[in-house]
Amino acid sequence: MLSRVADTIFWLGRYMERTSGMLQAIFTQYISSQDDPEENTWRPLLKIYGELTDPEIEAIENHSPKALDYMILNRSNQASAFNTITFSRENARGIQDHITKEVWQCLNDYYHLIRADHLHYELFYGDPVAPIDMLIKHGLLFTGTVDNTMTRGEGFNFIHIGKLIERAIHTTDVTRIKMNEIALRRHEGFEGAKLRYLLYSLFGFEVYLKIYKGNFTKRHTLDLILYNTDFPHSLLYSLERLFRYFTRLKNDSLPENFERLEYLIGKTMNHIKYSKVDESNSAELDLYLSQTRIDLFEISSTFGKHYFGNT
């Protein structure tokens, strides 16, 4: 596969997974803000999904309609859901020979949905739950369309490699946000509530209930989202699947390029698999997640250099 096409498909996977994770985190934060409106702040998510200065964040961090509009629909915010979907559609337009008609149509429908005038009105003036939920479901539809219509060739591998890198980054980001919030505020009921919202942000609440019977603890939560290989949004699941899709590229890779990526992915996977963080030590946990995030970006940039010809 041409490096330009592979790069485009890789970023298609990343952008669409970023959109899905962002919308779920925003949706969960909005729901939590209804429980405790006086303490709600959009600052952590605005830092991840925006390009604002601290004074600009301060101006909207306690105003939900403005924060939602900025993160979801703002066209000048390169990290907004509107722009990630638009970038994906424009990139996909040039590689339609390498994706199925169904994938293109699903992405095109998603683009027209997020451009609809009623979406802006409902987010800013109405109840944002319904439009955000609609966008989340369309993202899930895109994922299912990819899995059910694309042949298992290089394009399928690259789109999943991009998706899994982005999913792991999202897991580290959201976990850091919620665990830091818990570390800063200690009062009865706060930790359990934040852990529940963390699990909701990662599509893990129902899974947690089935495994741990509703006893919310930091240890159990971290065991699920870091180490559980049956949970699709855990770090270890994402890295093991990433390694699986990557190994399928071996026969079409230069040996030195394959070995470099194999080493980086294996190192990061083993860092997760064989390191048990102390959930009571917030500084150690934050360092652990920060280092994992750095390792994931190194994997992504190395793909860009050795597989896509980026410098």
> What integer is the mean pLDDT of 31-46?
82
Among residues 238, 3, 6, the alpha carbon closest in space to that of 99 is found at 6
**Is the pTM here over 0.85, yes or no?**
yes
Question: In terms of residue numbers, what domain contains 116?
Answer: 1-150
The mean predicted confidence, pLDDT, of the chain is 92
Regarding whether 8 and 127 lie in a shared domain, the answer is yes
The answer to whether the beta carbons of residues 262 and 246 sit under 8 Å apart is yes
pLDDT band at 1 (very low <50, low <70, confident <90, very high): low
Q: In 268-280, which positions are buried (b, 16+ CB within 10 angstroms) versus exposed (e)?
A: bbeebbeeebebe
Confidence (pLDDT) at 207: 95
The 10s digit of each residue's pLDDT in 248-270 is 999 988 999 999 999 999 999 99
Regarding whether 131 and 12 lie in a shared domain, the answer is yes
Q: How far apart are CA 297 and CA 238, in angstroms?
A: 14
Confidence (pLDDT) at 102: 97
Q: How far apart are CA 28 and CA 26, in angstroms?
A: 5
Among residues 303, 175, 148, 147, the alpha carbon closest in space to that of 234 is found at 175
The 10s digit of each residue's pLDDT in 194-242 is 899 999 999 999 999 999 987 889 999 999 999 999 999 999 999 999 9
Confidence (pLDDT) at 293: 96
Regarding whether 255 and 233 lie in a shared domain, the answer is yes
Regarding whether 195 and 119 lie in a shared domain, the answer is no
> In the listed set 123, 150, 177, which residue is the last one of a domain according to the structure?
150
Regarding whether 209 and 140 lie in a shared domain, the answer is no
pLDDT at 189 over 70: no
> What integer is the mean pLDDT of 286-301?
96
- Concatenate the DSSP letters of all residues of 174-190 into one string: HHHHHHHHHHH---TTH
Regarding whether 174 and 123 lie in a shared domain, the answer is no
- Residue 94: which residues within 8 A CB-CB, separation 6 or more? 8
Regarding whether 297 and 236 lie in a shared domain, the answer is yes
Regarding whether 231 and 165 lie in a shared domain, the answer is yes
pLDDT band at 291 (very low <50, low <70, confident <90, very high): very high
What letter does residue 38 receive in the DSSP assignment?
T
Regarding whether 215 and 132 lie in a shared domain, the answer is no
Confidence (pLDDT) at 280: 86
pLDDT band at 186 (very low <50, low <70, confident <90, very high): low
Residue 45, Cα to own-chain centre: how many angstroms? 12
Residue type at 272 in one-letter notation: I
Number of domains in the chain: 2
> What integer is the mean pLDDT of 154-160?
94
pLDDT at 114 over 90: yes
Regarding whether 175 and 309 lie in a shared domain, the answer is yes
Regarding whether 178 and 109 lie in a shared domain, the answer is no
> In the listed set 88, 121, 150, which residue is the last one of a domain according to the structure?
150
Regarding whether 269 and 129 lie in a shared domain, the answer is no
Distance, first Cα to last Cα, the chain:
19
